[in-house]
Amino acid sequence: MRATCFILALAYLLLQLVNRATAFDHQGCRVVKPHGRCSSILNYHLYNKAFPSGYDLARRGLIWPEGLNASQHFVILIHGYNGNMDRSPNAEIRPELLKVPNVNVVSLEFGALVPDPCYVQSVENARPVSICLARQVRKLLGKAKVSLELLHVIGYGLGAHIAGLASQQLQAETNLRFAHITALDPAKPLYLTKDLSARLDPSDADFVDVIHTDVFMHGILQPLGHVDFYPNMGVTQPSCGPSQNIETHQCYHKRSAEYYAESIFSKTGFWGFYCTELYAFLHNECQPNTRYELLGYYTRSKARGAYFLATNQEYPFARGFNFDNLDRTIRGKTYMTDGFINKISEMGESARNLTKYI
């Protein structure tokens, strides 16, 4: 009898957990319901001239400060998997943006929902985070604290897809979408899908620019934006270490945020030249030409297509229009064996399709 009561009590407790806004799987990884309470899912930290050390929205009663208005640039930074409001892209980009006059910078915080090793659950949690972000943007628009024309959302890794999903949610609710999304090495695992409602794509904003820096591990190889940049082919980045080490690929991944941060005040600039896709670049089908675009903070909103560039071996990484000694081989630069690369090369045009839009 006691055993039966214990089992019933345990079943009831589990049922209560399932019915709450959040639940926990067998690994202890937190999963959030799509329509849970946003205050328990997502927080916002505002940085500007008045709040150089940050304004914690949760600690201020969820009330945005006076002084915000729709005439100011408003940049939202979204961290990635196993991140938080002080890690990439915040650590690299926020200090540089705060040097720009009349810019409000908001760092999102949802680190408790995307911890290592809970990647699958983190992808699940991307949806409710995006719903809450869309809800907050709608609130700011309604109070004339932000204008869509001056709103710029920058997402890193998993955060790039959250940016896209949030704009999709805003479109579904208001028929409006973000003006500008910058995607920094958008996450690949579980996002290689043709279902555009499940990931970032060009229709998510008036303008989507993408920087690819780790296309064979963390990031997606195929173009995802109106314009896509491939520094060092998006394959390897300098001064990161042996390509066989996972820490090296984390460095490659993070370099997307470092390049963007440098671009804000670089006088040299990260200039890339047009090529149809990575396959064409690797097979020497395109050369530096008259079609150039600038990677980073000053990318033109009318830029279209894929652009390739090399960087210096150390900071400052920008090389301007220097396209000397372009590296076009991936052999010996990835965890893939030369035999495997040869097999891909033998696929011919089929391999080309792997580097085009999903």
pLDDT at 27: 64
Residue 24's DSSP bridge partners are: 30
* pLDDT confidence of residue 1: 33
pLDDT of residue 24: 46
CATH number of the domain that residue 319 is part of? 3.40.50.1820
What pLDDT digit, counting tens, does each position of 249-266 carry?
999 999 999 999 999 999
Would you state the pLDDT for residue 15?
Answer: 30
CA angle 266, 272, 278 (to 5 degrees): 140
First-to-last alpha carbon distance for the chain, in angstroms, is 58
Q: Has residue 13 been placed in a domain?
A: no
Domain assignment present for residue 11? The answer is: no
- Encode pLDDT of 9-19 as tens digits: 333 233 333 33
- The tens digit of pLDDT for each residue in 89-98 reads 999 999 999 9
Residue 8 domain-assigned?
no
Q: How many residues does the chain have?
A: 358
Question: Quick check: is 9 in a domain?
Answer: no
* pTM (2 d.p.): 0.91
- Where b means 16+ CB within 10 Å and e means fewer, 270-309 reads bbbbbbebbbbbbeeebebeeebbbbbbebeeebebbbbb
pLDDT at 19: 33
Could you give the number of structural domains in the chain? 1
- Domain contains 14: no
Cα–Cα dist 184/161, whole Å: 10
Spatial distance between the Cα atoms of 110 and 185, rounded to a whole number of angstroms: 19
Q: What is the pLDDT of residue 292?
A: 98
User: pLDDT under 50 in the chain at which residues?
Assistant: 1-26
Let me know if residue 273 belongs to a domain.
yes
**255 is a domain residue:** yes
If you compute the radius of gyration of the chain from its CA atoms, what whole number of angstroms results? 22
* Domain membership flag for residue 287: yes
Q: Residue 189 is part of which domain span?
A: 26-353
